[in-house]
């Protein structure tokens, strides 16, 4: 069964944030492995049902049981979105790249690959703060002597739908405002040309 490719949108932005090491015991790889196992088991059951003509109801029941077990695991092992209002004064403005699957940001401290971190971000476009857990992909030293530090890239751990929906809403609003600004600029340009 072919899966639909989902486009990942990202933006470059300047947002208030802070981060700390997460107390989570599970790694992003553990969560991904569970979700991959879920997908593989359901695919196997569906394929077996088609070939052996066993009762479709039994195959559906087995698939639902796997879904329920995995969802219970994720609920007990995942950090969900926490809304924090109003904006915390301890957040520091930082250059970021942001998508619904992860982010990059500047840090004064290096972090080892695979470390779990919790990031609090104020999403200015929707005036909401979120906390999201991610696994550090890499930590590169800054090449700018005037701005020593590290550029961290983190991938969000799966199962944080509320947080990623808020991040997607922020990205969409930023893109909408940028397109609106471009349209206004184009109207002014074409309006001036028509008057000439």
- Residue range 62-107, pLDDT digits in tens: 777 777 777 676 666 554 433 343 444 578 899 999 999 999 999 8
Domain assignment of residue 146, yes or no: yes
Q: What's the CATH code of the domain at 100? A: 2.40.10.220
156: in domain:
yes
| Whether residues 72 and 112 fall in one domain | no
Q: Which residues contact 121 (CB under 8 A, 6 or more apart)?
A: 15, 16, 17, 91, 96, 98, 103, 129, 130, 132, 167
Let me know whether 102 and 186 are in one domain: yes
For 38-60, how does the pLDDT look when each residue is reduced to its tens digit (9 = 90+)?
Answer: 777 777 777 766 666 566 777 77
Number of H helices, E strands in the chain: 3, 6
Quick one: 40 and 109 in the same domain? Answer: no
Q: Provide the residue range defining the domain that includes 64.
A: 28-77
Question: Is 118 inside a domain boundary?
Answer: yes
Question: How many domains is the chain partitioned into structurally?
Answer: 2
Please spell the DSSP secondary structure of 78-108, one letter per residue.
-PPP--B-S--TT-EEEEEEEESSEEEEEES
pLDDT per residue as tens digits for the range 118-167: 899 999 999 998 988 888 999 999 888 888 899 999 999 887 888 888 99
Residues 131 and 96 in one domain: yes
Question: Is residue 65 located within the same domain as residue 14?
Answer: no
Residue 100 or 30, more confident:
100
User: How does pLDDT run across 3-21, given as a tens digit for each residue?
Assistant: 444 446 789 999 999 998 8
């Amino acid at each position: 069964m072919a899966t639909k490719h989902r486009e990942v949108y990202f933006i470059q932005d300047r947002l208030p944030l802070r981060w700390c090491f997460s107390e989570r015991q599970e790694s992003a790889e553990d969560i991904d492995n569970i979700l991959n196992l879920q997908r593989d088991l359901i695919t196997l059951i569906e394929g077996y049902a088609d070939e052996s003509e066993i009762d479709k109801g039994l195959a559906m029941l087995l698939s639902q049981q796997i879904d329920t077990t995995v969802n219970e695991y994720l609920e007990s092992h995942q950090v969900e979105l926490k809304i924090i209002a109003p904006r915390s004064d301890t957040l520091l403005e930082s250059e970021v790249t942001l998508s619904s699957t992860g982010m990059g940001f500047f840090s004064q401290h290096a972090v080892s690959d695979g470390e779990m971190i919790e990031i609090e971000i104020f999403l200015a476009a929707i005036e909401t703060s979120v906390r999201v857990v991610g696994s550090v992909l890499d930590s590169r030293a800054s090449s700018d002597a005037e701005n020593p530090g590290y550029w961290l890239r983190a991938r969000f751990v799966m199962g944080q739908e509320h947080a990623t929906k808020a991040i997607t809403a922020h990205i969409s609003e930023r893109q909408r405002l940028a397109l609106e600004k471009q349209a206004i600029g184009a109207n002014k340009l074409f309006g001036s040309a028509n008057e000439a």
